[in-house]
Amino acid sequence: MKKILTAIFAMASTTCALAQETPTSPLEISGSVDTYFKYDFAKDPRNAKTSFVTDHNSVSLGMIDIALKKKTGKASFVGELSFGPRGQTQSIPDAAAAGSSFNIQNLYVNYDFTDEFSMTAGYMGTFIGYEVISPVGNFNYSTSYLFTNGPFQNAGIKATYKFSDKVSLMAGLFNDWNVYSASRGVSAIGGQLMVAPVEGWTAYLNVLSGAGFGGYGTIEDLTTSYQITDKFKLGLNAANYDIKDSNVFGSYIGAALYPQYAVADAVTLGLRGEYFQYKKYGTTPKTSFTAVTFTANIKAGGLTFIPEVRLDHNSDKPFYKESGAIAPNAGQFSLAAVYAF
């Protein structure tokens, strides 16, 4: 632990020293604002089993997200905060009790030792998975089961080496998932291999092992996307998470496919098809979800309208009908407006 702290302080000191000698870039400011209306076909908000878009028959808030970035020579920082339900109560962790504060999305420093090698320390968006908290980073407005059940963010220190534009490798030490300070020490190790075999195709092979949701476990993840033609893009996310203690809930396996087709300059249609299974734990049997989400992105300058229809199925009947009776199916319609600046 002492060694890690020494490395972080050494990196920070070097950054300060070099900052006096090298030119600075302008401060970058960017962010987004989002709001949505959702209607659950069974009029029951409990049918939302994934993150965000949880209200029913309501014009609701997502979040305002503000990011700052500055680079001084080889050193840079990113600080990103979000305010609003998507960035507060629905993100983990909420900085204050009762969901009245904000969520840090990114807060880290980075140093590029060379063009190929860099180190980063702080709190960062997770390297696991296809979807992210920010609505600007996702095509669909609702989120997948894989996103909801995986890590959102990881605090830690990582090193990245870029062998070429087609291959890079990251390795790092991390806290347990989604915490600003470790409750079980710097107890997870993670890595990411990025390969870009052909132009337009990028694949990330990710592993994170150590303290996480439900105790200690290991998650293996494949996230890839391929811009096959000017108009057609295909994305894939597949992951497996095993908690060491087989009596604890939270182990899962799943895959999601993301085909998207641009029908016009400003309009892209997309689909997310997902299979997701919570694995058996203790005496509780496994349970499986399938979900199909039809989404359109209509862009007008910085604004994107996202109409969406989502259908979920689970034969174990975790959903509710309008009468309150349990049901195997759920459906919802939502219309979101996301402005990126």
For position 27 contacting another protein by CB under 8 A, the verdict is: yes
Q: For the CB of residue 128, give the shortest distance to another protein in the complex, in Å.
A: 10
Rounded to whole angstroms, what are the CA distances from 182 to 67, 123, 185? 24, 11, 5
Q: For the CB of residue 110, give the shortest distance to another protein in the complex, in Å.
A: 9
For position 264 contacting another protein by CB under 8 A, the verdict is: yes
Q: For the CB of residue 227, give the shortest distance to another protein in the complex, in Å.
A: 6
Do strands 58-72 and 75-83 pair parallel, antiparallel, or not at all (unpaired)?
Answer: antiparallel
Site string for another protein, 159-198 (x = CB under 8 A): ----------------------------------------
Q: For the CB of residue 328, give the shortest distance to another protein in the complex, in Å.
A: 34
For position 302 contacting another protein by CB under 8 A, the verdict is: yes
Q: For the CB of residue 265, give the shortest distance to another protein in the complex, in Å.
A: 5
Structure-token match 């880290």, residue found: 108
Contact 312, 49 (CB under 8 A): yes
Site string for another protein, 77-116 (x = CB under 8 A): -x-x------------------------xx-x--------
| 127 closest CA partner among 24, 30, 207 | 207
Cα gap 312→293, rounded to integer Å: 9
The piece of 21-29, 177-185, 209-217, 241-249 that touches another protein (CB under 8 A) is 21-29
Q: What angle do CA 215, 107, 20 make, to 5 degrees?
A: 140
For position 237 contacting another protein by CB under 8 A, the verdict is: no
Structure tokens at 96: 């204050």
- Binding test (CB under 8 A) with another protein, winner from 3, 23, 26, 181: 26
Structure-token match 């878009």, residue found: 53
Nearer to another protein, 139 or 145 (CB): 139
Range 230-236, long-range pairs (CB < 8 A, 24+ positions)? 230/262, 231/261, 231/262, 231/263, 232/259, 232/260, 232/261, 232/262, 233/258, 233/259, 233/260, 233/261, 234/258, 234/259, 234/260, 235/130, 235/259, 235/260, 236/130
- Binding test (CB under 8 A) with another protein, winner from 99, 185, 197, 200: 200
Interacting positions 312-341 with another protein (CB under 8 A)? 340-341
Structure tokens at 314: 């689970």
- Residues found near another protein in the complex (CB under 8 A): 26-30, 67, 69, 78, 80, 105-106, 108, 124-127, 132, 134, 136-137, 199-200, 227, 230, 233, 264-266, 298-302, 340-341
